[in-house]
Amino acid sequence: MENLKLIETYKDFLRNYSMEQLMHKPEQRVWSIGQMYDHLIVTAQEYLDSVEECASAGKEQEGTKTEFGEQIFSTGGFPPIKITIPEELSPPPANTKSKEHLMLELDQLINRLDKWERKADEINPVYKTEHGGFGWLNAKEWLALVEMHFRHHLRQKKDLDEKLGLKADH
């Protein structure tokens, strides 16, 4: 449920940006707000793909979380630091999507997320799939990761808003 509320909050923020603001890159190596939204949506969909894999796994996985995975799940979120993934591992997100397109993708994400959140209790918690940085996660952990990831990017959103001269809560 927290996932859905947080994504609705992102939708509320999105309504207030102009296309120019959405696509503005304050520096060459800094994402635009639109790129941040695209990254959040694509990543959340990948996490939900992993939820589906857990649901259909059919057998127990012996793997455990990495040390970093244990840390984020014990604290309930990512550390308050900027995390940079090399471009060769994750190319920059799209910076061409319209506000309407991003809104549609957020709505699709909400529908898919709601479906899996309602089914999560039925998925055996020993059915897991591996995350490259966090180790082996079950369906409920993948769902929690969606919320943690959206929450983590609120700091980036605030920084980008400030670079646009906007109030952080516009």
Tens digits of residue pLDDT in 80-111:
877 777 666 677 788 889 999 999 999 999 99
Is residue 100 a part of any domain in this protein?
Answer: yes
Is residue 20 a part of any domain in this protein? yes
Residue-number span of the structural domain to which 109 is assigned:
2-163
What total number of domains does the chain contain? Answer: 1
Q: Which residue do the tokens 């369906």 mark?
A: 139
Question: Within 10 A of 100 (CB to CB), how many other CB atoms are there?
Answer: 10
Work out the pLDDT band at 169, boundaries 50, 70, 90.
Answer: low
pLDDT at residue 92, as a whole number:
77
Is 71 part of any domain? yes
The C-alpha torsion from 82 through 88 and 93 to 94, rounded to 10°, is: 150
The CATH number of the domain where 76 resides is what?
1.20.120.450
Report the pLDDT averaged over residues 120-134.
Answer: 95
The DSSP annotation for 74-137 comes to HHTS--SS-----TTTSPPPPS---HHHHHHHHHHHHHHHHHHHHHGGGS-TT-EEEETTTEEE
pLDDT in tens, 22-52: 999 988 888 999 999 999 999 999 999 999 9
Tens digit of each residue's pLDDT (9 = 90 or more) over 131-155:
999 999 999 999 999 999 999 999 9
169 found inside a domain: no
- Report if residue 170 sits inside a domain: no
Give the pLDDT band of residue 56 (cuts 50, 70, 90): very high
Check the CA dihedral 135-146-125-60 and report its sign. negative
Instruction: Identify whether 131 is part of a domain.
Output: yes
Q: Is the pLDDT of residue 121 over 90?
A: yes
- Note whether residue 42 is domain-resident: yes
Give the pLDDT score at 109: 97
Q: Helices 139-163 & 2-15, crossing angle to 10 degrees? A: 20
pLDDT of the residue at 167: 73
Residue 168 in any domain: the answer is no
